[in-house]
Amino acid sequence: MRFFSKNTKISGFKLIVIVYIVGSILWGINQYGDKMDLSVFEIFKMQDIKDVVNMHFEERKPQEKRQLSEPIAEQKFIENKQALNQNDRVFLHNAVTFKGMASVTSGVTFRLLTPVAASWRKHITHNIHLYGVDTCAPRQKAKLNNQVWPCGVVTTAWLVTKTLGKHVSCQQAIVHNGIHYAQCFVDGVDLAQLGLAEGMMIVTKDQRNFPSPADYKSLQLAAQKAQKGLWSSEFQQPEDWRRDNGTYNPIDP
Pick the closest to residue 230 from 162, 148, 118, 155 (CA basis). Answer: 155
Give the residue from 85, 109, 135 where a domain finishes.
Answer: 85
Does 78 share its domain with 128?
A: no
Q: Do 165 and 42 reside in the same domain of the chain?
A: no
Q: What is the mean pLDDT of the chain?
A: 77
Predicted confidence (pLDDT) per residue in 175-205, tens digit = 999 999 999 999 999 999 999 999 999 999 8
Q: Are residues 101 and 220 in the same domain?
A: yes
193 alpha-carbon distance from chain centroid: 23
Residue 18's pLDDT is what?
A: 65
Q: What is the torsional sign of CA 106, 107, 108, 110?
A: positive
Please report whether residue 234 resides in a domain. Answer: yes
Q: What is the CATH number of the domain that holds 195?
A: 2.40.50.90
> Do residues 249 and 137 lie in contact, with contact meaning Cβ atoms separated by under 8 Å?
yes
pTM greater than the 0.85 cutoff:
no
Residues 105-155 have pLDDT tens digits of 999 999 999 988 776 678 899 999 999 999 999 999 999 999 999 999 999
Is 167 within 8 Å of 100 (Cβ atoms)?
yes
Specify whether 80 is located in the same domain as 107.
Answer: no
| pLDDT higher than threshold 60 for residue 59 | no
Question: Which is more confident, 68 or 182?
Answer: 182
For residues 222 and 120, the model is more confident at 222
| 64 within some domain | yes
Quick one: pLDDT at residue 213? 86
Within a domain: 252: no
Q: How many domains does the chain divide into?
A: 2
Residue 50 lies in a domain: yes
Domain around 39:
2-85
Q: Are 176 and 88 in contact (CB under 8 A)?
A: yes
Residue after which a domain boundary falls, among 85, 120, 149 = 85
- pLDDT-based confidence at 79, cuts 50/70/90? very low
Asked which of 31, 63, 85 is the last residue of a domain, the reply is 85
Does residue 68 share a domain with residue 121?
no
Shared domain check, 129 and 47? no
